[in-house]
Amino acid sequence: MSDDALVKEKTTPDLQWYEDVIEIRGCHLSLPQIKAAYRELSALNRKEGEPLVNALIKPDDLSDEEWSTRVAFLKADAFRLTVSVMGFDGETAYGETESIFDSKDLPFPIRTVFFTNTTAFRRHASDKEPRNRFSIWMSFDKPPLFDPSAVLSEPTANNSRIEIHADNVAFFRAIQTIVTRKILAKKKWDSFIHAKFAYDVGLWFVAFPYALYWVTIYCDYFLPSASPHSSFRVAFYIYGLVLSLAAYRALFGYLKWAFPVNVLEENEDSATRHRLLLGGIVTSLVVSGVKSVFTFIF
């Protein structure tokens, strides 16, 4: 039997393709949750492969028993989901069953979990991809603590996504449903800080007014209009605002580092004390600002 039989092209003139890329962002995940998604996707993939294998024609040089063994082997081996679990130090654990998620040899903390239905298929199809295929990347990377080169208006960089390419709409919709129910279900409350323009919204509606208020207060305190040094008020405003907005940029980067895009429970992130520190900083800024405003008004 030729390996190309698994990928024999269809001749339907009105063949339609379905493609989608779904970003996986702002998710709180666990290995049991990922394992459950893997199990459902694996069952769906095996079901999708059965008619393809059943449609193969038995070669003349194989007996019925040999052919039955070959068919069973193809169903079991060509339609697996292969998994790679990668750590931050470059170590990788590889598997083709859901038991990998229970392994004690996983490289903790885990940086990326990747699985796909293409790898197992290609080894039986002359390195060609299946017509109905998908790949999932779940990344638990943190952005740099301080990255002056970053364009903070853009969403925080993270490669977590699922790519689907299919000519079977039922398969296509089933993949979308499983991913939505199993992987995208548990969202983090703080995911908005990684969205596009989150930095700009915080800058123009929170940081800049807050900085302008305090610079004005201190400028009037240190350099009142009647002061002989009042000519320095403009310089005080400029440097005060520049330093305040630089501090906001650093604080925002620190915030994104402490609250990463995606979280894996089993990684036991050590940034808890940083989150408490950030909470204390934000609380003190809010309290001091509100107290000052009320004192000024009343």
For 214-225, write each residue's pLDDT tens digit: 999 888 888 888
- Residue 159 confidence class, pLDDT cut points 50, 70, 90: very high
Alpha-carbon Rg for the chain, nearest whole angstrom, is: 28
The pLDDT of residue 132 is 94
Distance (Å, whole) CA 83 – CA 85: 7
More reliable by pLDDT, 280 or 106: 106
Lowest pLDDT segment from 7-21, 58-72, 216-230: 7-21
C-alpha atoms less than 13 angstroms from C-alpha of 284 in its C-beta half-sphere: 6
Write the CA distances from 145 to 99, 142, 189, integer angstroms: 35, 8, 21
Cα end-to-end distance, the chain, whole Å: 89
The pLDDT of residue 218 is 87
- Residue 11 confidence class, pLDDT cut points 50, 70, 90: very low
- Residue 3 confidence class, pLDDT cut points 50, 70, 90: low
The pLDDT of residue 123 is 92
Side chain identity at 256, as an amino acid letter?
Answer: K
Reading the block at residue 255, the tokens are: 């915030």
More reliable by pLDDT, 255 or 277: 255
Per the prediction, the chain carries an average pLDDT of: 88
If one counts every other C-beta atom within 10 angstroms of the C-beta of residue 226, the result is 6
Distance (Å, whole) CA 51 – CA 54: 5
If one counts every other C-beta atom within 10 angstroms of the C-beta of residue 298, the result is 5
Reading the block at residue 293, the tokens are: 């405003």
Distance (Å, whole) CA 100 – CA 286: 47
pLDDT (mean) for 128-148: 89
- Residue 10 confidence class, pLDDT cut points 50, 70, 90: very low
Contacts of residue 253, Cβ cutoff 8 Å, sequence gap at least 6: 143, 144, 145, 146, 147, 150, 152
C-alpha atoms less than 13 angstroms from C-alpha of 91 in its C-beta half-sphere: 9
- Residue 2 confidence class, pLDDT cut points 50, 70, 90: very low
As a whole-number percent, the residues of the chain with pLDDT over 90 amount to: 54
Torsion angle, CA of 194/38/88/276, rounded to 10 degrees?
Answer: 40
Distance (Å, whole) CA 162 – CA 182: 13
The pLDDT of residue 9 is 46
The pLDDT of residue 194 is 92
Side chain identity at 209, as an amino acid letter?
Answer: P
